[in-house]
Amino acid sequence: MKGLLSLAVWFVVWEIVGRAGLSSIVPPFSSVIDAMFTVVPTGKFRAAALISLRSFGLGMGLAVALGIPLGILMARSKSVGRILGMWVNIFVSAPISALVPLLMAVVGVGETTVVVTVFLFAVFVITLDTQVGMRRADRSLLEMARAFGATRAQLYGKVLLLSALPEILAGLRLGAIRGVKGVVIGQLLVAIIGVGELFELYSNHFLMEEFWALVVIVFLFAFAVSEAIALLERRVEYYAASR
Amino acid sequence: MARTSDAAGRLGWPLASFVLFFGLWELAGRWPVSAAFPPFSQTALGLWQMLADGSLGKAYWLTLQPLALGIVLCGLAGIGFGIGMGLSRGIEWLSLPVFIILQAAPMAAIIPLITYVYGIGLTSKVLAVVMLAAPVIVMNSYKGIRNTNPSLLQMCRSFQGTRRQEVVKIVLPHAAALIFAGLRLGLAMGFIGIVIAELLITPTGIGDLITYHSSVADYPKMFAAVASIIAVAALSLHALERLERRLFP
Amino acid sequence: MIVEARSIAKTYPGGVEALRDVSIAFPEGQLSTLLGPSGCGKTTLLKIIAGLVPPDAGEVRVKGRKVQGPGPERAFVFQDFALLPWASVLRNVAFGLELRGLPRAEREAIARRYIAEVGLEGFEERHPNELSGGMKQRVGLARALAVDAGIILMDEPFSSVDEQTRRKFQEDLLALLRHHSKTVIFVTHSIEEAAYLSDQIVLLSARPGTVSRIVRPAVDRSRSPDEIRRERNYLDTVDDIWATLRQYV
């Protein structure tokens, strides 16, 4: 709540700066909001949103499907952890956008490249956090479960994964944020599809209201996805501290 | 005897990992999937050639300037601001929601826009670095201040420490570790910022090498350029991490 | 009576009533213990006396003057040690003096004296992460002694160490107090500890904390520590206290 109030102050500042014409690239906040309502219903925006959401969904899906099992494997097997660990650590903070031209050269200029970009942006942090969460598992909890006759599947399903859930969710949240960045950057570099294309279009034609409207929409999307996962995180928070 | 095998173990795994990765790369490159995917050996050759003819050196000279400048500016202003946020509830109230949004936001979308105001020169690139690095530096400094051990603060008060003594002797030293981590993460974001800037705005430096060699279909050199920037980023971040571990055990 | 608590009441945020109408007088030069089950507010009461927490009602008077906050005549020893992790033992012990602005040479000299008194001679340059729990608490105690306060407030100081260390501590504390005339207010949940150390034991009931009884163990402290622990009065005191407290558990 307090945060919203503070943001409201900034929106007012934005409005004033826009009206005063202090910067050619900053239109008043109200006209940006207007533009949101005119842009969203258009066919062009819908097509762009669809493509972008599709790429995001596919890329994230792949990242989760590969990242979580990989993180589990790296935590379980020391040798796998040692071999892959170095690469995960390198790529989790590396400028992955440098790889996008590579992808464009090898895979082509299109949606596939964007999907792979999203995948690459998200997968490393998901893998890393999953691995960390699995490693933290409380030894005594595992011993207890084994003492009561848990099978390996039960050990994983009923104890380990739940114990690692806070970290896994944190990894998913960070991965989703990175995934959105991946869609935007991927599409900006590919420049012929999705919201990336729209950004190019608006900035090239100096349609600042539309540009910022799109920025706000994309930011809102990233924020919504992140908060949705954070909601899940809060639900497991109560046991995160006492592990 | 044990110490040499220990060191061998520590070097052995990364070495094995490299060999495995480059070996796979070599095999994948020779697979006729795509003409644009060179095997490791050709990429290494391309790297060597660019080093030899100085193009790599010149490219990095151009790339690292705005990066260094941006990080230094960001560091000074960002740490200062983050500390301010941590110490003053008023500043926190005003700035925290903004920086939370900025951290999650795809700032890359705005990068092409800054060229309209600042042109395609050094300023734009420094701004790109600053825009991406600032949120994480500010947030880390802020968290470092906020998360001071309350027990230590109470201890200071029990000995009648003034607020100023509290800040200087307890809060700041305690925050130093997180501030340094913030700088390291900021550098990572800075690398991302400069690469995006160089690929989206007029290419210079490494971005130029990548786009140029891509346009003339010299894929070994293109891949080499990409690999080099990733390697440079990884090495510098790793060095900072080791420094961090030594300074803040 | 050097410290007097009068009708102290305190409610935690969230509505839990911690203390209700607590009035106690603490004789000068003696060791008084606040004893009771968890949740009886004894640590809260100690922090109110220390001036770290304000009471909702009532007041504390030290030497007749009302307590408004921490003061030079009261020093606090923390349950979780509250040592500066980046500072050496020497600097930690001298910290209270550092806050008062004493010049470095002077405060280090004082600190060294007390480091020796608590048995940590030779450890001046070590850091807290190199010390055991027992040693850390000795640092905390030395720090409280170094500021030469007449009243020492100890919040379950020995609860974070093992039983053997704890016994040694208790004996060392008594030995130390024979050399320095201090008023000590001690919080613990251990009946044996209270009976062993105290001149006066204040039994507090739980939720809300009120004074249940005051016991003065007639234990002859001139005897050896082991003899004391088998002395009749000591054992009777322990049983007596337990009979009172068990109804609150």
pLDDT single digits (tens) A50-78: 989 999 999 999 999 999 999 999 988 88
Q: Do B160 and C76 touch (CB under 8 A)?
A: no
Report the range of poorest mean pLDDT among A158-162, B166-170, C4-8, C121-125. A158-162
Domain A40-240 is of which CATH architecture?
A: Orthogonal Bundle (1.10)
Nearest CB to B233; choose among A95, A102, A195: A95
- Checking if the pLDDT of C139 tops 80, the result is yes
Q: DSSP characters for C113-172? A: HHHHHTT-TT-TT--GGGS-HHHHHHHHHHHHHHTT-SEEEEESTTTTS-HHHHHHHHHH
Mean pLDDT of A33-44: 85
**A139 half-sphere exposure, CB direction, 13 A CA radius:** 0
CA-wise closest residue to C6 among C18, C31, C24:
C24
Mean pLDDT of chain A: 86
Return the pLDDT at A132.
92
Q: Both tokens of residue C61?
A: 């008077």
Q: Does B120 touch chain A (CB under 8 A)?
A: no
**C-alpha span between C22 and C5 (Å, rounded):** 7
Q: Both tokens of residue B210?
A: 């990548």
Chains that touch A (3 or more CB pairs under 8 A): B
Q: Do B100 and A3 touch (CB under 8 A)?
A: yes
Contact A130, A168 (CB under 8 A): yes
Residue C21: other Cβ atoms inside 10 A: 14
- Which chain A residue has the Cα nearest residue B104? A177
Helix (H) / strand (E) containing C65: strand C65-66
Fold topology of C1-73+153-249:
Rossmann fold (3.40.50)
DSSP-derived 3-state class of residue C101: coil
Q: Does B239 touch chain A (CB under 8 A)?
A: no
| Residues of C whose CB is below 8 A from B158 | 50-52, 70, 74-76
CA-wise closest residue to B16 among B8, B6, B26:
B8
- What is the full per-residue pLDDT of chain B (249 aa) written as tens digits? 555 566 666 677 788 888 888 888 888 888 777 777 888 888 888 888 888 888 888 888 888 988 999 999 999 999 999 999 988 888 898 888 888 888 888 888 888 778 777 877 888 889 989 999 999 999 999 999 988 888 999 999 999 989 899 889 999 888 998 999 999 999 999 999 899 888 887 778 888 888 888 888 888 888 888 999 999 999 999 999 999 888 886
Domain boundaries, chain C: 1-73+153-249, 79-148
pLDDT digits (tens, 9 = 90+) for C144-187: 999 999 999 999 988 878 888 888 888 889 888 888 889 999 99
Domain boundaries, chain A: 40-240
Alpha-carbon separation of residue C98 from C85, C87, C150 (angstroms): 16, 13, 19
- Which chain B residue has the Cα nearest residue A212? B110
State the burial class of residue C243 (Cβ atoms within 10 Å of its Cβ: 0-12, 13-18, 19+).
exposed
Nearest CB to C82; choose among B155, B160, B169: B155
State the burial class of residue C114 (Cβ atoms within 10 Å of its Cβ: 0-12, 13-18, 19+).
buried
Q: pTM, whole model, 2 decimals?
A: 0.80
Q: Can you state the angle between helices B205-215 and A99-107, rounded to 10 degrees?
A: 10
pLDDT digits (tens, 9 = 90+) for A161-177: 888 888 999 999 999 99
Contact C50, C70 (CB under 8 A): yes
Return the pLDDT at C90.
95
Q: Does B97 touch chain A (CB under 8 A)?
A: yes
- Checking if the pLDDT of A7 tops 60, the result is yes
Q: How many Å lie between the alpha carbon of B164 and the closest alpha carbon of chain A?
A: 28
Q: Does B236 touch chain A (CB under 8 A)?
A: no
State the burial class of residue A118 (Cβ atoms within 10 Å of its Cβ: 0-12, 13-18, 19+).
buried
Contact A228, A51 (CB under 8 A): no
Alpha-carbon separation of residue C90 from A209, B158, C114 (angstroms): 63, 19, 10
| Residues of C whose CB is below 8 A from B173 | 84, 86
C50 vs A150, which has greater pLDDT?
C50
Q: Both tokens of residue C225?
A: 């520590």
Fold topology of B41-247:
MetI-like fold (1.10.3720)
Nearest CB to A94; choose among B13, B97, B234: B234
**C-alpha span between C49 and C54 (Å, rounded):** 9
Alpha-carbon separation of residue B109 from A215, B192, B200, C126 (angstroms): 7, 13, 10, 52
- Which chain C residue has the Cα nearest residue B148? C84
Nearest CB to A185; choose among B101, B191, B196: B196
- Bond preceding residue C208 cis, omega within 30 of 0: yes
- Which chain C residue has the Cα nearest residue B151? C82
Report the residue count for chain A.
243
Chains that touch B (3 or more CB pairs under 8 A): A, C
Q: Does C100 touch chain B (CB under 8 A)?
A: yes
Chains B and C are touching, with contact defined as 3 or more CB–CB pairs separated by less than 8 Å: yes
| Residues of B whose CB is below 8 A from C78 | 151, 154-155
Q: Does B37 touch chain A (CB under 8 A)?
A: yes
Nearest CB to A199; choose among B36, B101, B109: B109
- Which B-chain residues 153-182 have CB contacts (< 8 A) with chain A? none
**C-alpha span between C176 and C141 (Å, rounded):** 11
| Residues of B whose CB is below 8 A from A211 | 113
